[in-house]
Every structure is written in C-alpha cells, then in structure tokens.
Amino acid sequence: MLFFTQCFGAVLDLIHLRFQHYKAKRVFSAAGQLVCVVNPTHSLKYAPTRCAVAQTSAEQGSLPPCHHHEAVHDPQLVPCTCPLFSCPWEGHLEVVVSHLRQTHRINILQGAEIVFLATDMHLPAPTDWIIMHSCLGHQFLLVLRKQEKYEGHPQFFATMMLIGTPTQADNFTYRLELNRNQRRLKWEATPRSVLECVDSVISDGDCLVLNTSLAQLFSDNGSLAIGIAITTSKVHNGEAEM
C-alpha cells in the first residue's frame, strides 16, 4: 500500500515538473534555450545571525568572515565553495566542480543560454536556488538567494560566479534577464570568482536585487524564470561603456 502511495506521489511530482517545464518554455519561446527547473534548498549554512555579522563587518570596511581565500594558507588549495553547507573540504580549483556535484548534489547544465526556473519563491528566507552552468570551456555557479537583509523584508539576490580565478573571471560577462507582463529587467556584469565568497557579493548588493513586489510581478504561479547568457568580454577598458 505504501509502495503504491509513493509511486502515485512520484507520478504527481513528474506531472508537476513537466507542467512547470512547459510553462517556462512558453515564456522563453526562443528556440534552443534549455529550461532547467531548480528547486529551493533551505540553507543550513546561512543563518540570520551569521548574516548580521557578515553585514556589519562589511559595513565597517573589513572583509566579511567568509572570505575563504584569506584563510587558505596553501595557495594551491581552495575550500569548498558550496553556498549551502559549511564543509571542511579543501582541494585544487580543478576538482571543485566534481566536489560540488558529488558531495553537494548540485546539478550542472550545458549551453550558452539557459533558463533557470526557480520554484516555490514563497518559501521563507533564507532559501537558496543553485545550479552550475558549463559554458565557453568554464563552469559557473548561479546562486539565487532569498534573504532578509532588513528584518521582515525578504529580498531576492541573483549572481553568477566563475569556478576559477578572479583573472579568469574578468574575461566573461554574464546577463540575467527577467521578462513577464510587458516588463523586462536585465542585469549584466563581470562574474566574480568563487574564491570571493557569494555571501560577501550579496551583502555588498553587487548583484541583481529584487524586492518581493518585483519578484511577484515577474513570477508565474510561484516560479521565477531567469534567462541566463554568458559571453566573453572583448573590451577590457574599465570605463568604455554604452
């Protein structure tokens, strides 16, 4: 009996995923875009107290406590870059991707342009939606985080980090695009390296930031579709803009 109940649950889940996938495809109708349904994870690493400490020290101009590369003594080794869990793992940069896949079960997607469909946006903060994106010979970590920077006012923060060095990261530009209800919001920036911790990028606010009201305007039935594109940045002169 339990077996049948579980089977029925699994079938319902599949139908639900299929439906969400179809919805995302309808919104992002451009041919060739891969839609990836990303379920939320309630962050076990990230607690409000830790956030407050990181934010306070960032405001004071000192480095937040999560700047991993400050703590690593062997320059060849980097700590685990998973934003979800505190993990004692250390290893070479080249094996971070396989560690994230195998130990933290973070999915990886191929393709220059993908659609990240974050489900259950209503879940309380802190919540993370995470995926890896393989593109142009490199791997990127996309993090969408719901967080209460100001108590009682959750916001959404989205950023893309290169699983590589800051020098390698400077060669790329990433774009996050929201598009719904005759509104469009685009954020373009150079990705940060995972050696700079995602917590500090979010506490600095140097990413796509959405209030709850804007997130609702762009959401469809509790799911937020973010179009992602990565390109190589050809021009490297800091001020040559527009």
Cβ atoms of residues 129 and 117 within 8 Å: no
Residue 186 near a second copy by CB under 8 A: yes
Cα four-point dihedral sign 85, 174, 222, 30: negative
DSSP symbol at 92: -
Cβ atoms of residues 123 and 147 within 8 Å: no
CA distance 166 to 193: 5
Query: Which listed range, 13-21, 41-49, 128-136, 183-191, lies at the site for a second copy (CB under 8 A)?
Result: 183-191
Residue 189 near a second copy by CB under 8 A: yes
CA distance 39 to 60: 35
Question: Please, is 18 exposed, middle or buried when counting C-beta atoms within 10 Å of its C-beta (0-12, 13-18, 19+)?
Answer: exposed
Q: Name the minimum Å distance from CB 74 to a second copy.
A: 31
Query: Which listed range, 81-89, 99-107, 137-145, 174-182, lies at the site for a second copy (CB under 8 A)?
Result: 174-182
Q: Name the minimum Å distance from CB 140 to a second copy.
A: 17
Residue 232 near a second copy by CB under 8 A: no
Query: Which listed range, 24-32, 62-70, 85-93, 131-139, lies at the site for a second copy (CB under 8 A)?
Result: 24-32
Residue 29 near a second copy by CB under 8 A: yes
- C-alpha distances in Å from residue 112, one per residue of 65, 94, 116, 136, 150: 34, 21, 13, 7, 35
* Of residues 99 and 146, the one with the C-beta less far from a second copy: 146
Q: Name the minimum Å distance from CB 136 to a second copy.
A: 18
Query: Which listed range, 13-21, 34-42, 95-103, 208-216, lies at the site for a second copy (CB under 8 A)?
Result: 208-216
Residue 211 near a second copy by CB under 8 A: yes
Residue 16 near a second copy by CB under 8 A: no
CA distance 161 to 233: 15
Per-residue contact flags (x/-) with a second copy for residues 30 to 69, judged by CB under 8 A: x---------------------------------------
CA distance 170 to 103: 28
Residue 238 near a second copy by CB under 8 A: yes
DSSP symbol at 125: S
Interaction with a second copy in 107-166: which residues (CB under 8 A)?
Answer: 150, 153
Question: CB under 8 Å, gap of 24 or more: what pairs does 184-188 form?
Answer: 185/210, 185/214, 185/218, 187/158
Binding residue for a second copy, selected from 53, 123, 185, 229, defined by CB under 8 A: 185
Structure tokens at 138: 């490199």
**Interface residues toward a second copy, by CB under 8 A:** 26-30, 150, 153, 173, 177, 179-190, 204-206, 209, 211-214, 217, 227, 233, 238-242
